[in-house]
Amino acid sequence: LYAGISSYSPEQTQQATDILKSLGTPCLIHQPNYNMFDRWIEDGLQDVLAKEGIGCICFSPLAQGLLTDKYLDGIPSDSRAAKAHGFLRQEDVTHERIRMVARLQEIAGGRGQKLAQMAISWVLRDDIVTSALIGASRVDHIVDAVEAARNIQFSDEEISRIDAVLSQH
C-alpha cells in the first residue's frame, strides 16, 4: 500500500518515487542518517522530499553518541566507541571533534538544553523532518528526546554559532 526508503541520494529518491508512482504506490517516508556532523541531506535530498511530499525520519541524530557529553572526558569503557564492532570507532572520537562537541555543549547550555537535547532539536528544526529515531538504552534518553521536542526553534544567531563550530574541521 505504501513504501518507505532509506539512505537514497536525491537522484535515487526521485527515481524511486517515479517508479513507485507509476505502480500506484506512494512513497511516504525516507529514512536518512542526519545529524550536525553528517548533513548530506541538505545537498538536494530535502528539496526532493519537499517537492514529492515525502516525510523524513532521521536516524542517528546524536551521531552514535558523539553529540552528547559522553565523550568529553575520554572514551568510556562501556561506550559504543570502546567496542570492537559497530558504527562508531575510537578513531572517530578525535580531539577536534571533542573540541567541537564542547563548544556545541556551551551553545546548548545557553538554550537551557543538554547537548543531546539540542542535537535532536537541531534535526527537528526543519519542517521536512517528520521525526528523529533515537536509540534509547535508558529511560533518561527518552526523557531527553521528549524535552528536545519542546524547544525546536533556533534563533538566527544560534544557527550561525552552530554552523561556525561545525565549519571548523
Instruction: Report the C-alpha gap between 66 and 166 in whole angstroms.
Output: 13
Grid cell for residue 85: 564492532
Cβ atoms 89, 64 nearer than 8 A: no
Residue type, 16: A
pLDDT in the model for residue 96:
85
pLDDT of residue 83: 56
Q: How far is CA 28 from CA 5, 50, 59, in A?
A: 9, 11, 16
- Number of other CB atoms surrounding residue 151 within 10 Å: 16
Considering only residues 73 and 17, tell me which one the structure prediction assigns the higher pLDDT.
17
* Cα angle 45, 47, 49; round to 5: 70
Q: Is the pLDDT of residue 6 over 50?
A: yes
Name the pLDDT band for 82 (thresholds 50, 70, 90): very low
For residue 108, give Cα distances in angstroms to 65, 66, 68, 73, 162: 16, 14, 11, 18, 10
What the block records as the C-alpha cell of 146 is 521528549
pLDDT tens-digit profile of 109-157? 999 999 999 999 999 999 999 999 988 778 888 888 888 888 999 999 9
> Which among 58, 4, 5, 60 is positioned nearest to 32, based on CA atoms?
58
Q: Give the pLDDT confidence of 7-49 residue by residue, as tens digits.
A: 999 999 999 999 999 999 999 999 999 999 999 999 999 999 9
2 pLDDT above the threshold of 60: yes
